[in-house]
Amino acid sequence: MNLPDPFVIDFTMWTNTNFSYRLTFADAATGLPLDLSGKAFAMNVKVNAADVSATTAATIDFAGVANGIVGMGIPAGAIAAGLYVYDLIMFDAGSRERMGGGRFTVIQGVTQP
């Protein structure tokens, strides 16, 4: 498996709506979707990368992993408005691969149900 270089994507969510994003990983040599079956993923959001505890962890959707698709979600209200950092890690048989990361901005929502 030829993993792509780690991505850098900055995300924005609002406190009053759910965050949802899907990434598709392709083989770096062929461009074909990677079969990520059997892999585990984790995404933590923190105020600072060096913080011991995560502010929140994303829910990972594994439905499309056979086609290289990894979905991430955070429910509305799970994080206070502010500036954060995140990364997405893939775990596989004792190894850890950083798939990517970036800034995670949370904006105070206006409309409340």
* pLDDT tens digits, 68-112: 999 999 999 999 999 999 999 999 888 899 999 999 999 999 998
The backbone torsions φ and ψ at residue 22, rounded to the nearest 5 degrees and listed phi first, read -120, 130
Hey, is 24 helix, strand or coil?
Answer: strand
**pTM for the whole thing?**
0.90
Is the pLDDT at 4 greater than 70? The verdict is yes
How many domains does one find in the chain?
A: 1
Residue 74 is assigned to a structural domain of this protein: yes
Residue 102 belongs to domain spanning: 7-107
Please provide the size of the chain in residues: 113
Residue 18 is assigned to a structural domain of this protein: yes
